[in-house]
Amino acid sequence: MSTAYTEASYENSVIELFENMGYTHLYGPDVERDYESPLYDEELVASLQRINPKLPSEALDDAYNKLKNFDNGELIQKNKVFMDWLQNGVPVRYFEAGEERSDIAYLVDYANVDNNSFYVANQWTFVENSERRPDVLLFLNGLPVVLVELKSPSREETDASEAYLQIRNYMHEIPSMFIYNAICVMSDQLISKAGTITSGEDRFMEWKTKDGSYENTRYAAFDTFFEGLFQKERFLDILKNFICFSNEGLKSYKILAGYHQYFAVRKAIETTRTATEEQSGKGGVFWHTQGSGKSLSMVFYAHLLQETLNSPTIVVITDRNDLDDQLFGQFSKCADFLRQTPIQARDRKHLRELLAGRKANGIIFTTMQKFEAEEDSLSDRSNIVVMADEAHRGQYGLHEKVKTVMNAAGELVSKIVHGIARIIRNSLPKATYIGFTGTPVSEQDHNTREVFGNYIDVYDMTQAVEDGATRPVYYESRVLKLSLNADILKKIDDAYDEMADEASLESIEKSKRDLAQMDELLGNEATIETLVNDILQHYEGCREHLLTGKAMIVAYSRPIAMKIYRRILEVRPNWQDKVAVVMTDSNKDPEDWREVIGNKTYKENLAKKFKDNDDPLKIAIVVDMWLTGFDVPSLATMYVYKPMKGHNLMQAIARVNRVYKDKEGGLVVDYIGIMSALKQAMADYSSRDQKNYGDMDISKGAYEKFREKLQVCRDQFHGYDYSAFYGTSDLARGKAISGAVNFILDREKATQSERFAKEAQMMTQALSLCASIAEEEERIEAAFFEAVRVLLQRLKWQGGGKKLSVAELNSRINELLKQSINSDGVKNLFEDIKEEFSIFDEKFLNDIAAMEHKNIAVEILKKLIAEQISVYKGRNLVNSKKFSELMQRVINSYLNGMLTNEQVIDELLKMAALIKEAKQRGDDLGLNEEEMAFYDALSKPDAVKEFYTNEQLAELTKELADTLRKNRTIDWQQRKAARAKMRMLVKRLLKKYKYPPEGEEEALETVLAQCETWTDNAA
């Protein structure tokens, strides 16, 4: 037994896990089937009959034919059709008594788990554009609904990311397999993640619990992932109720619920069922932090609720028109999954008509304001569920208030005003209410609990960041740049508090007067000029070239938003397409505002442009719009010039916490003094949120991390003088970088270079958040280390599991040799090397040998030769072994100090010459590359050449290759009968040529081994 824990070992562990869950194991080579069909046809036919016993064979044949023959179209569209069939059944037609009838043939029995077949298969060969064998497939009733790609947990050069790339490669090589795919999985044992065929790598998510508990979910064991996601009952539930398509214009995105969404929605369904049965009306509060997919959780909830409560009518309430539009838009994109089209109520009358005209079903969107006009009942039905978005807002009061107003005669009169929650309750007295929120309900907010009840599920900020569902948010204060004194800030706070309180007409009128004064103070031309100049300096110096450069400026008021916009264009007149104002319009707006603000269609177009990473629109100036429910994943910077508190503040800053590629986090730049409000708002968050994110200040978080990583990088280069990088000579700076690469690649620092690369990357990510407060010398030093890291990354060997052609490798190294770090003014580090080169180009090899930096020369030669050996491994058994052994001896001697840089370069050049010579021999004999592999196997024993001429061996080689081509059987080397037949054919041919000669019997095994190698890789 092998002592190594390989990818095959891990594969067996996963299979055993599935067997323990009741899945039946299939070993691909042992199953007789059609290798050009992605389906397990025999089992599919049997399952259709078992699940649909009442349907005639003609109907089942129709279903089977539809599954086998999809119309031409894009893969995603085909998969969308299949998922509809998987969840809802296949429409079929058949004739009965001479009449055509229609029915549904179900692919899965969701009500009876044991009536389905569950298979876990490995080494399942499928032939389409090429031959591929995914590591593990899960077949549900003969349908390959899950593809699992595994990577060895014991090989440093492969990880889950390699598995993701492999899955994407499969989608090109065997696309038909993915027509039937519901879930894709990538795992290297340490990290296991699930996604869909449209998921980017950053959208593959872990499954961190088997029972919905958030305890011990920081790191998830691989068994937790597989058992949590694929336990039979849950797996069927996920397939039917927690996978949907979101139609985004011309594109569709397939969405798999995260574990936090799945378990929370399931809990919400149960609390709603209980509240409906007990007629308490309190479905509870669903708190999932901003950015964690709350809107999609609401979609999954609405979908599942229809079956659970026998088609209730769902009323979705928001408190603003733009939020209504945004949430309505998400539901509309998922209308196919919901199996009904959401409707927006125009006004209270329309809402009444929509409710009165139905006894069940319907998803109706409305705003709270539409309930305020009257207080009479809209519907007495009990099968109505009210979903309130952002349920903690103060408007959800049950209690009455006394409001003082001025009558027509100018007299102050008082009247009793009912809280909006009371009005809604009076309008829908028997409905069940459930609240969804992205921020916690404060301890003082008793109204929310009275309306909705207690928490159903809490998914806090800490958990979301740990899961990769969101990114952390950091804070930078630049209030002092504006010279706003404490008195002004205190007035702003007081005015804001009074306006938010809305206790009486007098306080509102006083607030308006105070706010107008604040507008004059904060909108002062000199202040706006200072503000804009500092924003531009910060943006252009620290944020413009980060990710996609998207940024948001939150203005105090609409007039101030316009002043900021116009000042930016005064300073940057060519930014017409780069900056825009997004805010509501008014009939009282000045004429010259209209072309800037635009109408509803114009604002919708701006939203599309801002969400488009490639669009020139980079900076959005907003007041209230886009501060909630508006997601742009690449948005990383928010400049705040508006006082905000509580949930309004937390929702606003969450615009920058979305996940996007290697985004370290979002940065909030404060010009108005919101830090105290941030700390106060965090008081309502979970204890670990307060601990981890109670102080978001970059000077205490990101900057400290940056300095820590910078020191680690310095330590890695102890003994190397890079002071020339601080000078003004581009040549000297270039030499400092190339010398540093050469230094860190020294054989005595083999492990050090890997650690440096990781630490330098973390240093750069931390600097992206705190560049504005880092010292200039620190930033220059960081730029030096980043330049070294980039070059090391480009030199890094990507071998092992990745088989690159020589042409691809040459192209990559060619790019390296031409690389100039333009941002640092660094010239081509390898300018003495010519652009076009190949391992078979003698001039190129001589140029490499003549390089000043010998460690770099060694790395380049090692990579080129190792790639050529890798090519041989799949084709030429003899040369692969010979060159591998030679390469290993050379490298071992080098690492053990037996060879100097110059000597190892000389040895590697000799190897390159041998490889070149081997290639030339094939050309001289008139043999192609694969034929030459057989020739080398036939002629390996030196004594063989005494019995045959080169011409005779070449003739035998061509006939042997031709025989194998004609008789190759898929997986022959793993199936005993096919293997025996192949060996017999080879032996018969060799006997014809009286090969091997007497005394050289071991030569036969070399030839047979080469035949197996060729057959394995012929595809």
pLDDT class for 404, splitting at 50, 70, 90? Answer: low
CB 519 within 8 A of CB 560: yes
**CA separation for the pair 67, 45 (Å, rounded):** 11
pLDDT at 339 over 90: yes
Q: Is the pLDDT of residue 57 over 70?
A: yes
Tell me what pLDDT residue 636 has.
Answer: 94
Q: Which of 292, 221, 204 is nearest to 256 (CA)?
A: 204
Give me the mean pLDDT over the 111-132 stretch.
93
* Res. 64: pLDDT tops 90: yes
Q: Coil, strand, or helix at residue 915?
A: helix
Residue of higher predicted confidence among 849 and 358: 358
What's the Rg (C-alpha) of the chain? 34
Least confident of 120-129, 289-298, 490-499: 490-499
Q: Of 253-267, 533-547, 677-691, 857-871, which gets the smallest average pLDDT?
A: 857-871
Least confident among 516-530, 572-586, 785-799? 785-799
pLDDT, position 738: 78
Going by pLDDT thresholds of 50, 70 and 90, the confidence category of residue 511 is: low
Long-range contact pairs involving 840-844 (C-beta distance under 8 Å, separation at least 24) = 840/915, 840/916, 840/919
Q: Which of 927, 825, 950, 823 is nearest to 875 (CA)?
A: 927
For residue 674, the model assigns a pLDDT of 84
User: What is the reported pLDDT for 916?
Assistant: 67
- Mean pLDDT calculated for residue range 322-334: 87
Q: Write down the pLDDT at residue 501.
A: 43
Beta strands in 560-703 (DSSP E): 579-582, 619-622, 637-641, 666-670
Q: Is the pLDDT of residue 851 over 70?
A: no
Choose the most confident range, by mean pLDDT, from 136-145, 518-527, 861-870. 136-145
Would the pLDDT of 375 be above 50?
A: yes
**Mean pLDDT throughout 730-736?**
77
Average pLDDT over residues 323-347: 90
Q: Is 341 left (phi over 0), alpha (psi -120 to 50) or beta?
A: beta
> Range with the lowest mean pLDDT among 11-15, 83-87, 630-634, 902-906?
902-906
Confidence of residue 111 (pLDDT cuts 50, 70, 90): very high
Give the contacts of 894 (CB within 8 A, at least 6 positions apart). Answer: 747, 858, 904
User: What's residue 915's pLDDT?
Assistant: 65
For 812, other C-beta atoms within 10 Å of its C-beta total: 16
The per-residue pLDDT for 108 is: 98
Q: Residue 853's closest CA among 742, 991, 763, 936?
A: 742
pLDDT on residue 805: 38
Pairing label, strands 637-641, 551-555: parallel
Q: What is the pLDDT of residue 626?
A: 93
Band of residue 808 on the pLDDT scale cut at 50, 70, 90? very low
Reduced to 3 DSSP states, what percent helix, strand and coil does the chain have, rounded to the nearest 5? Answer: 55, 15, 35
Question: Which pLDDT does position 135 carry in this prediction?
Answer: 92
**Does position 196 have pLDDT exceeding 70, yes or no?**
yes
* Three-class DSSP labels, 569-591: HHHCCCCCCCEEEECCCCCCCCH
% residues pLDDT > 70 (the chain): 70
Answer whether residue 173 shows pLDDT above 50. yes
Averaged pLDDT, 668-693: 80
User: Is pLDDT larger for residue 850 or for residue 181?
Assistant: 181
Q: Which of 81-90, 540-549, 967-976 has the largest mean confidence?
A: 81-90
Q: Each residue of 564-616: pLDDT tens digit?
A: 999 999 999 999 999 999 998 888 889 889 889 998 899 989 999 999 999 99
Judge whether residue 452 has pLDDT over 80.
Answer: yes
- Over residues 219-249, the pLDDT tens digits come to 667 889 999 999 999 999 999 999 999 998 7
Inter-CA distances, 718 with 743, 760, 870, 895, 978, Å: 10, 15, 36, 21, 61
pTM to 2 decimals? 0.75
- Mean of per-residue pLDDT scores for the chain: 79
> Over the stretch 604-653, which tens digit does the pLDDT of each residue have?
899 999 999 999 999 999 998 998 888 899 999 999 999 888 888 888 88
Above 50 in pLDDT, residue 824?
no
* pLDDT score of 447: 62
The pLDDT of residue 752 is 75
User: Comparing 752 with 713, which gets the higher pLDDT?
Assistant: 713
Tell me the pairing of strands 126-127 and 131-132. antiparallel
The pLDDT, as a whole number, for residue 372 is 65
Whether the pLDDT of residue 92 is over 90: the answer is: yes
Q: Which of 224-233, 897-906, 933-942, 957-966 has the lowest mean pLDDT?
A: 897-906
Please state which of the ranges 125-134, 495-504, 993-1002 shows the lowest mean pLDDT: 495-504
Q: Cis omega (within 30 of 0) on the bond before 429? A: no
pLDDT score at 185: 96
